[in-house]
């Protein structure tokens, strides 16, 4: 074979700008199989063709590998590098490629670890615990301002009534207006919508960040107004929105969060976390998530829901201890029963009867609520009127509630002075109000349940009826 420089000196054209890597052979110098002829004849023919046709290019059909790419002949016009500089450059390139590969592998490992389930569950539990505690803190401060303003108006009874009605009315109207302006999808409880979504129906704008902000602000204002509104239903919707938004964020680290089945699993976990961090009951949250997804519940969601709900409930109670609302991590509504003898054996049938009665009352409540909603929908004129004047209905309900619970008025017969959380705390009191003798002020906040002219049982019954009617409205 000829050296690379022979073609250059013989007048052949240099196509690559340097020594060619392949020797191209004329077709007539190849065998019938496309292979080159013997070396001697080939070299002779090439030299003869080079002399006779110095400015023509041979037919380029076949080529064979001639030398390594690293042995290319450099252009004479370019300065040649020494062996030491080439070795230094090669070492730098190897070192750079190794570092780049190490960084790439490290980034892959970090993204894979951040996309794991337990990272998502910890973040979800932490965020919801912070949101729940913040809402409770702000609403508690609002209720303190409410009561302080009310007591400052003493002994002027009309001003007290004005404050008692105006404060919750303002917050409820603000809550309703904020939801309608920011995100109408945030109106209502949210549990029926979550049941619909978990059954495969797509509801637009129900799991967005805008609905999350509207729901949190409106619920905080409602809790701070003193009106008996529940936190459980809206908080299930809030936790599900947080799970949906967090899934979109985690999809940057792991693509499995974009899968529909995985997205549904995370929404189920969000339902469990919503109940768990609301009452500090992780097991109740898991059972509630099973109830919400009653058509199908994957076994793999048990540990996810329990882990996230437990972590959220733990952080929620730790924040209460940090804020000095509790001495240590205990139940949200703690009892004061004796540990050695908490109850009599004769009380067990009474507990069973209470459970049966509450079950029937719950069924009756759901039935009555359904009938009222169907009646409103059938009345087209009333439906159009309420849809046109959206703030009228919550304003009327709030005014009626505040008027009935006014402490110097009807409120003295139903413990109207107590806020919803205070009423629940006093109902867990271990004092027997019926048998109490002496100054009622010794009972603390529970003294409002004792009236000098009315029996305690009647006060509790009126309180129960009032709450049922108010929640029903």
432 in the Ramachandran plot: left (φ > 0), alpha (ψ -120 to 50) or beta?
beta
Residue carrying the six token digits 């939801």: 179
Q: CA 16 → CA 23, 72, 303, distances in Å?
A: 12, 11, 66
112 neighbors 301 (Cβ within 8 angstroms): no
Distance of CA 117 to the CA centre of its chain: 13
Helices in 83-227 by DSSP H: which ranges?
Answer: 83-114, 117-152, 157-182, 191-198, 209-224
Share of the chain above pLDDT 90, in %: 10
Helix axis angle, 282-292 to 191-198, nearest 10°: 60
> Could you tell me which residues come within 8 angstroms of residue 99 by beta carbon, excluding any fewer than 6 positions away?
none
Q: Which residues are within 8 A (CB) of 307 and not within 5 positions of it... i.e. 6 or more apart? A: 118, 121, 125
Taking Cα atoms as reference points, which of 369, 120, 130, 318 lies closest to residue 235?
130
Distance CA 129, CA 127 (A): 5
CB 195 within 8 A of CB 222: no
User: 88-97, 329-338, 384-393: which range is least confident on average?
Assistant: 88-97
d(CA 403, CA 202): 42
Q: Is the pLDDT of residue 276 over 50?
A: yes
| Contact criterion met (CB below 8 Å) for 203 and 196 | yes
Distance CA 22, CA 67 (A): 8
pLDDT at residue 408 in the model:
86
C-alpha to C-alpha distance for 156 and 150, rounded to whole angstroms = 10
Q: Has this prediction a pTM greater than 0.75?
A: no
At 242, list the tokens: 């947080």
CA dihedral 269, 312, 212, 374 (to 10 degrees): 60
- Contact indicator for 464, 415 with CB cutoff of 8 Å: no
pLDDT band (50, 70, 90) for residue 294 = low
Q: Which tens digit of pLDDT belongs to each residue from 240-257? A: 899 888 888 877 766 656
Closest CA to 167 of 4, 398, 367, 376: 398
pLDDT recorded at residue 63: 42
Q: What are phi and psi of 59, to 5 degrees?
A: -65, 125
SS3 63: strand
Residue pair 146/268 in contact by the 8 Å Cβ criterion: no
- Both tokens of residue 157? 């009874």
Structure token pair of residue 64: 């064979």
At 210, list the tokens: 């805008």
Place of tokens 């109490």: 436
| Each residue's pLDDT tens digit, 60-100 | 444 444 444 444 444 444 444 445 555 555 655 666 666 76
For residue 25, name the pLDDT band (cuts at 50, 70, 90): low
Cβ pair 4, 19 in contact under 8 A: yes
Q: Domains for the chain: give ranges and CATH numbers.
A: 4-71 (no CATH), 113-322 (1.10.3080.10), 391-472 (no CATH)
Peptide bond into 155 cis (omega under 30): yes
Beta strands in 280-347 (DSSP E): none
| DSSP letter (8 states) at residue 186 | G
Nearest-5° Cα angle at 159, 154 to 164: 95
**Per-residue pLDDT tens for 393-438?**
888 889 988 888 888 888 888 888 888 888 888 887 777 777 777 7
Helix axes 260-279, 232-250, angle to 10 degrees: 140
Query: In angstroms, rounded to a whole number, what is the distance separating the alpha carbons of residues 268 and 386?
Result: 33
Task: Calculate the alpha carbon distances from 237 to 213, 288, 432 in Å.
Answer: 12, 13, 39
> 124-145, pLDDT tens digit by residue?
889 998 998 899 899 989 999 9
């Amino acid at each position: 074979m000829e050296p690379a420089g022979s073609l250059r000196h013989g007048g052949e054209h240099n196509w690559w700008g340097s020594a060619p890597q392949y020797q191209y052979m004329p077709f007539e110098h190849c065998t019938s199989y496309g292979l080159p002829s013997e070396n001697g004849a080939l070299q002779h023919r090439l030299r003869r063709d080079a002399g006779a046709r110095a400015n023509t290019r041979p037919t380029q059909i076949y080529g064979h590998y001639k030398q390594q790419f690293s042995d290319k002949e450099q252009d004479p016009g370019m300065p040649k590098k020494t062996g030491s500089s080439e070795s230094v450059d090669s070492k730098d390139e190897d070192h750079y490629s190794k570092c780049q590969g190490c960084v790439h592998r490290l980034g892959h490992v970090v993204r894979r670890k951040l996309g794991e389930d337990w990272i998502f569950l910890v973040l979800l539990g932490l965020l919801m615990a912070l949101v729940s505690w913040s809402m409770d803190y702000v609403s508690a401060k609002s209720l303190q301002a409410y009561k302080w303003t009310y007591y400052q108006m003493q002994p002027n009874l009309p001003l007290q009534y004005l404050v008692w009605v105006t404060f919750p009315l303002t917050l409820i109207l603000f809550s309703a207006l904020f939801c309608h302006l920011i995100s109408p999808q945030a109106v209502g409880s949210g549990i029926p919508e979550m049941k619909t979504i978990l059954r495969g129906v797509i509801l637009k704008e129900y799991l967005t960040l805008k609905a999350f902000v509207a729901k949190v602000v409106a619920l905080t204002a409602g809790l701070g107004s003193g009106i008996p509104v529940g936190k459980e239903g809206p908080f299930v919707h809030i936790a599900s929105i947080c799970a949906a938004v967090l899934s979109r964020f985690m999809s940057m680290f792991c693509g499995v969060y974009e899968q529909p089945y995985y997205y549904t699993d995370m929404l189920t976990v969000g339902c469990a976390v919503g109940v768990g961090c609301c009452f500090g009951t992780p097991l109740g949250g898991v059972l509630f998530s099973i109830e919400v997804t009653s058509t199908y519940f994957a076994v793999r969601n048990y540990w996810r829901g329990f882990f996230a709900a437990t972590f959220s409930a733990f952080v929620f109670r730790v924040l209460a201890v940090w804020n000095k609302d509790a001495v240590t991590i205990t139940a949200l509504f703690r009892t004061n029963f004796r540990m050695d003898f908490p109850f009599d054996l004769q009380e067990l049938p009474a507990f069973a009867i209470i459970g049966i009665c509450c079950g029937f009352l719950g069924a009756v409540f759901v039935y009555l609520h359904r009938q009222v909603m169907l009646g409103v929908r059938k009345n087209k004129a009333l439906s159009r009127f309420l849809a046109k004047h959206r703030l009228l209905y919550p304003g009327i309900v709030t005014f009626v509630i505040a008027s009935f619970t006014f402490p110097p008025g009807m409120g003295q017969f139903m413990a109207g002075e107590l806020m919803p959380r205070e009423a629940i705390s006093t109902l867990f009191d271990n004092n027997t109000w019926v048998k109490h003798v002496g100054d009622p002020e010794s009972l603390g906040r529970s003294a409002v349940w004792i009236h000098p002219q009315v029996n305690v049982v009647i006060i509790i019954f009126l309180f129960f009826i009032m709450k049922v009617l108010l929640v029903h409205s």
